[in-house]
Structures are given as C-alpha cells and as structure tokens.
Amino acid sequence: KQEIMKKILTILAVLVVFVASFAAKAQDRTCKTDSICGREIVKSAMKYLGSPYRSGHMSPKSGFDCSGFTTFIFSKQNISLPRSSRSQYSALRGDSQVKDRRDLKAGDLVFFSGSRASKSNVGHVGIVTSVDESGNFKFIHSSCSQGVTVSSSQEAYYAKRYIGACRVVDGE
C-alpha cells in the first residue's frame, strides 16, 4: 500500500509541476492568438531604434518622420493608420481615447503638440513602451534630433506638450 501511495504522490507531484510550468508559459505569451497585442507592436518598433529621422518618409531604408514611423509599425500588423499625427489623433480619439495616463498600455499611441508647444494642435506621435503606476510612460518615436529613440513623458520637452493618448489594439 505504501508503495502505491508513493507512486500516486510522485505522479501528482509531476502533474503539479507540469501544470505550473504550462500556466507560466501561458502567462508569458504576449496575447491571445486571435488578436494583436501592444507588446507585439513595441517589439516590432524596437527593431528600428537608431533609424534616422527624415521628414515625409516612412521606411527603414530612408528614415521615418514620427507619423511615418507609427504608420509603418502598425501596417506591419495589418493595421491601417492615417498618415499624419494630427489625422491619427482625430481618427482615433473618442471611443479609443485613453483619458487617464495610468490606464496607458504598451502599444498605445501618445500625442504631443509640435515644437511650438501649442496645447491644441497635434504635431507629434509615439508608441507607449511602458508605463508606471503614476502614469509616467516611456515611448518610442522618431524625433528630429535622434531618429527612432525611446523617450520619457517626464522629459520637460514632452511633459509640457502632452495632449492625449489613444488605444489601437486591445491586448497589452
């Protein structure tokens, strides 16, 4: 009887380990298989870090402007975005708008005013890469001075120019 109990306990222990490892792997997946997730968008975008800035362009070979970069990255996931940052914001705000910065997720688009710091006119766009519990976020974008780079919402330049954010994909 003890021998049978040992075998049953061993089998149960193996099953527990198997189920736990399966659950951990399932949790590691970036999203459901039937949808595109923000982390996939970010992973795709990070491949282009260091690409040059080039006004009016949206190609890894010739460079990107900010909206060219977001349009290109989302198009790789078969998601069509308008070409300009202002048009992207206009098309997405409303139901897709993320009103509280603490609710931002990887893959969300963040919008800023242009270099003149007018709070009403969108002139720049990036993709959220991470966000903390306070709503401070990092985002990847194509900047005039650095090309494709990751910046922080806490940098003075972007902090005073933040306009809003929109969700394009549901999963994080």
Burial of residue 10, with CB atoms counted within 10 A of its CB: 0-12 exposed, 13-18 middle, 19 or more buried:
exposed
Quick one: tokens of 159? 């902090």
Q: 10 with 19: CB under 8 angstroms?
A: no
Inter-residue contact 133 to 149 (CB < 8 Å): no
Catalytic option among 37, 141, 144, 166? 141
DSSP state of 139: E
Q: Which of 31, 37, 57, 66 is catalytic?
A: 66
Using the CB atoms, write b or e for 28-46: b if 16+ within 10 Å. Answer: eebbeeeebbbbbbbebbe
Which member of 31, 37, 57, 124 is catalytic? 124
Is 57 catalytic? The answer is no
Size (the chain), residues: 172
Active site positions, annotated: 66, 124, 141
